[in-house]
Structure 1
Amino acid sequence: MRLMVTCEEATDWISRREEGKLTLSRGLRLRLHLFLCVFCRRFNRQNKILIHHVHHHNDATLSDQEKKAMADRLRGL
């Protein structure tokens, strides 16, 4: 088993983790990758923001102000 994972694997595992479908072994390897990779850390933060907004706004339409605020937060990461 390889200890390091690729960015492609890491982004896939980030999504699986949000769904609760990540093994303990992969979770630990993902944490190591995130510690070392600034790009995947950014993807992880952006993914968390999107998941948060989807869960809190899935039945509502976002106002223009809310859309702008979300876009600004994603650009600022």
Structure 2
Amino acid sequence: MAILTIHPKDEAQEKALKTIFEAFSIKYEKEFDETEYLMSSKANYEALDENIAQLNAGNGVKISLEDLWK
């Protein structure tokens, strides 16, 4: 059987599709979106926002690939 990847445009479409899948006993999985998960926490969002601001201000540290595993 084929595997289909479906991209609903909003939560309403996602809910409707889940209802249809359940009605027809179609197995489905929701892929884990790390960015969405991290941004769902206010503390994580604030920390990420602060880190991005620091990088934009030039306060980041560059590590060469050769030094990465030392």
Fold shared by both chains (TM-score > 0.5): no
Determine which structure has the larger helix proportion and give its number: 1
Higher relative contact order (CA 8 A, sep 6+): 1
**TM norm structure 2:** 0.33
Greater Rg over alpha carbons, structure: 2
Q: Tell me the TM-score normalised to structure 1 length.
A: 0.31
